[in-house]
Amino acid sequence: MALLEVNQLTKIFGGLLANDHVDLVVNEGEIVGLIGPNGAGKTTLFNCIAGFYPPNSGTVQFKGENITGLPSNEICLKGIARTFQIVRIFKEMSVLDNIMVGAFNRTGSAAHARKQALEVLDFCGLMPKKQMLAGGLTIANKKRLEVAKAYATGPSLLMLDEAMAGLNQTETAEAVELIKKIRKSGVTIVLVEHVMEVVMPISNRVVVLEYGKKIAEDTPEKVIHNEEVIKAYLGDKYHATRRAH
Amino acid sequence: MGFNKKYIWLGLGAVIFLIYPLIFTLPFPRHVMIMIFLYATLGLAWNMIGGYAGQISLGHALFFGIGAYTSTLMLMKLGASPWVGMLVGGILSMGVSFIIGYPCFKLAGHYFAIATIAIGEIAQVWMLNWDWAGAAVGLTLPILPESLINLEFHSTKAPYYYIAFGLLILGLLATYGIDRSKLGYYFKAIKGDLEAARSLGINVTKYKFFALALSAFFTSICGSFYAQYVLFIDPDSVFPLMLSVIVCLVATLGGVGTIWGPVIGAFILIPISEFTRIYLGGGGKGTDLVLYGLLIIIISVYQPFGVIGIAKRFRKKESA
């Protein structure tokens, strides 16, 4: 059964049609990449699923339950955790405390939350930074912490919004490893990225958005040869010259 | 070892404060200490919503006044023990905090602070015109025989001293409990980033309500104690904006969002106000306020984390 099912989701901001009847299915255990050029509506779709704002029409179903328009804290309780494109860590709190805030989603006991947070710290490779103030971390570690605290909420679906934007090659590779590890621990992942090189090797399926519409959905290998996708990313000209050869 | 050392210091502090009234038998030193304890407890109460949850309230005099008036009116109209009035006042304040929180928690940052100022002022104007509750004349508490149940002591300030000390311990324990539990972490998360907190499963409004209700309860208890201590209340003494400001300042000067910050703040601020009043007398009226203003500027410009922040910086230098 599908873990997440988005049906005909539409979101309008004023006169802008950010998502136009988008369908999306995420099965359990998958890594789904959500890609598209700037302004394609990836983050909007993401925010509608995570309860940041309600869609104008369409439904979001999670584990067979209608969660459309629920506030984000309730969606987190249901088992969908998200990260933010621009990291939103608690700068004045230590790295461990940041993760504990996430861990409290599943427990009321501080001792239990601390134990879980320590496990997540270790899992995400942030153990050496345990007592540091989160505000003092490097960008790469801030992004890692952003993932770690979402992961600590104990989700069955983790949605990562450009978790690797702004990282160098080594850092990106490390982040990809972490995502694979999280996937192996039994968490389904939806990935928003616009760096194709990152999404392609780890995604089971890739969904491509352009101008708010879904233009393709397939395995990475097929998507990169899809003419519409090439057109969306590289423009008509490239498309035309490619044909001429 | 650091842990044991901490307990030794705590024990030593407790002993010093317990024998203080035996050493200082004159009323004035005891009065200063009672005021320090009272404001430290008020600072701790304010710290729950303002320090931990980051919702700056400048209307806390409202809860102080509710506490003072509830216990006093219950004593005068129903003959109830001030202790019962204290508890009822605390619960009433929690109720009022829900009514205030409902519209005000939709406001963020400065707008929340402004709304709380307005509510505090409305309460004062209301009380100034409410004849049944004494209006502008205020209420003079009936002089009852000295006893713990009556919470009135006329021959010595020592019992007030110990009760105020007890309130402070209560406030510290509550703060400690918050600091180490889910509440504290969630309050801090709300202060840090509202949207991030929400995305981690925190029902932000609910926890803001918790913080304000707890804060209101403790502030209200202090109000009841104040009424029993001074034995006269009027809207100008228990509902003034200045009280809200001082309570906020006590916590901010010491260090917001910390357990000991408000206590340190009270130990610095209250003696300043008491002693300027002595040495400068009526002619120097307002000098303490000028000093407060100066302190606010210094804190906000140089050390937003308060005295605790300075102490931490020094400790870091030592260990480095």
pLDDT, tens digit, for every residue of A119-174? Answer: 999 999 999 998 999 999 999 999 999 999 999 999 999 999 988 888 888 888 89
Averaging pLDDT over each range in A232-241, B175-184, B299-308, which range is the top one?
B175-184
Higher pLDDT, A82 or A37: A82
pLDDT of B303 above 80: no
Question: What is the distance between the alpha carbons of residues A35 and A200, in angstroms, rounded to a whole number?
Answer: 10
Q: Distance between CA A224 and CA A235 in Å, rounded?
A: 14
Q: Supply the pTM of this predicted model.
A: 0.90
Kindly report the nearest CA distance between residue B110 and chain A, in angstroms.
Answer: 20
For chain B, the average pLDDT equals 90
**Cβ contact, residue pair A108, B182, below 8 Å:** yes
Within 8 A by CB and 6+ apart from B295, the residues are: B249, B253, B269
Closest CA–CA distance from residue A136 to any residue of chain B (Å): 15
Range of lowest pLDDT (A59-63, A208-212, B46-50): A208-212
For range A94-105, the mean pLDDT: 95
CATH class of B2-319: mainly alpha
A153 contacts in B (CB within 8 Å)?
200-201
- β-sheet bridge partners, residue B267: none
| Position A238 pLDDT exceeds 60 | no
How far is it, in rounded angstroms, from Cα B58 to Cα B115? 8
Any idea of the CA torsion for B265, B271, B277, B279, to the nearest 10 degrees?
A: -140
> Which residue among A77, A90, A97 sits closest to B196, beta carbon to beta carbon?
A90
pLDDT score for A244: 44
- 8 Å CB contact between B233 and B135: no
Confidence of residue B294 (pLDDT cuts 50, 70, 90): confident
Over the stretch B190-202, which tens digit does the pLDDT of each residue have?
999 999 999 999 9
Alpha carbon of B305: minimum distance to chain A alpha carbons (Å)? 11
Domain spans in chain B, listed from the N-terminal domain onward: 2-319
Angle between helical axes of A110-123 and A139-152 (0-180°, round to 10): 130
pLDDT at B3: 66
CB contact under 8 A, A153 and B200: yes
Write down the pLDDT at residue B296: 76
Per-residue confidence at B276, pLDDT binned at 50, 70, 90?
confident
- Best mutation site among A49, A70, A73, A105 for testing chain B: the one with the most B CBs within 10 Å? A73
Contact B201 A84 (CB under 8 A): no
pLDDT at A241 over 60: no
Q: Is B319 on the interface with A (CB under 8 A)?
A: no
Provide, rounded to the nearest whole percent, the portion of chain A with pLDDT above 70. Answer: 95
- Whether the per-residue pLDDT at A35 is higher than 50: the answer is yes
Q: According to the model, what pLDDT value does residue A240 have?
A: 47
The predicted structure's pLDDT at residue B183: 95
Q: What is the pLDDT of residue A60?
A: 93
**Which residue of A104, A112, A159 is the best one to mutate when testing the B interface, meaning the one whose CB has the most B CBs within 10 A?**
A104
**8 A C-beta contact, residue A59 and residue A66:** yes
Query: What is the spatial distance between Cα A58 and Cα B51, in angstroms, rounded to a whole number?
Result: 42
- pLDDT of A185 over the 70 cut: yes
Q: What is the pLDDT of residues B55-99, one digit of tens each?
A: 999 999 999 999 999 999 999 999 999 999 999 999 999 999 999
Locate B201 and state its tokens.
């499963």
Q: State the complex-level ipTM.
A: 0.89
Contact flag A90-B182 (C-beta cutoff 8 Å): no
Q: Which CATH number fits domain A2-244: 3.90.1150.10, 3.40.50.300, 3.30.2230.10, 3.30.420.40?
A: 3.40.50.300
Q: How confident is the model at residue A232 (pLDDT cuts 50, 70, 90)?
A: confident
Compute the average pLDDT of residues A37-56: 89
Helix (H, G, I), strand (E, B) or coil at A192: strand
